Amino acid sequence: MFFRWFQPGYSIAALLLAVIALSGCASDRFFLIPKEDIRQLDSAMSEQRLGLNSLLSTSVERHDTLIRQSRSDTDLILAAIEEKVEKPSCPRLPAPVVCEAITQTPENTEREGYANRLAGKLVVGERERFYLVGPGFVYVARIDSGAETSSLDARNIRRFERNGQNWVRFDVPVPNSDGQYRTLEREIVRNVRIIQSNVEEYERRAVIELQFAIGNHRQKAEFTLTDREHLSNTVLIGRNILRDVMLIDVGKEFATELPASLLSGKDSSQ
């Protein structure tokens, strides 16, 4: 029969029509999808879209609610902290208490001490006699404009609390004695950190206020407490005392003299 299709009596057009007919039958049988199934599929996809949109809207709303709640809780915590904790503030350094200078005359020179003054400022040398009010000790002080805060030789420094305030107990050397010391107590004004060039950790030193005299100049100023055993002078006078009060004559030593009343222990102002 196959050979009969290709006999000269049959045309090529008839053969093409037969192939097209067979192709149409195969398409109708294997590839066509009913319209009802397509409509059901579209409906299911629409329901899924609605569900996803609803879920997204709910998630956004919950996220916004959590953010608002977190901000509210943070504001409450910050308000509680500000109410209970005081803001830190640095205490103001007290102004140096300077006694009125005494006019130098030949009559009162020996009684009130001797001091050169220039433009109202006390002229001091590289070293001066230093009178410590309280124990009444006279030390030799080194004048050093490179040091910010003055310093006093102190041993056995021990901190303690008195009436809710920080105090310190320390020993100072007794002048012209064979290793004797006098114990003093003072309230701590503040603390300073000292960093040594050959040590990694810093040293915490107590700062106290002491009354003293150099020549006929008397003052109350801050001193750090530190062991100065390895140094030649018991007292160091720094810029916190020199500023606006003293001038240094580097070519002199002991340019002032203490009043005789201090040296004799008869000064009534102690």
If one looks up domain 97-263 in CATH, what number appears?
A: 2.40.70.10
- The H-or-E segment that residue 64 falls in is helix 35-84
| Residues 191, 223 contacting (CB under 8 angstroms) | no
Q: Using the structure block, give the residue that is written with the tokens 């901190």.
A: 159
Q: Where are the domains of the chain?
A: 12-89, 97-263
Q: Tell me the pLDDT tens digit for each residue of 205-248.
A: 999 999 999 998 999 999 999 998 888 899 999 999 999 899 99
Average pLDDT over residues 132-151: 93
Q: Tell me the pLDDT tens digit for each residue of 166-185.
A: 999 999 999 988 889 999 99
Whether this model's pTM surpasses 0.75: no
Mean pLDDT for all residues in the chain: 80
Could you say which DSSP state residue 258 is in?
A: -
Residue 27 has pLDDT above 60, yes or no: no
What's the confidence (pLDDT) of residue 234? 92
The backbone torsions φ and ψ at residue 251, rounded to the nearest 5 degrees and listed phi first, read -90, 5
What's the confidence (pLDDT) of residue 22? 57
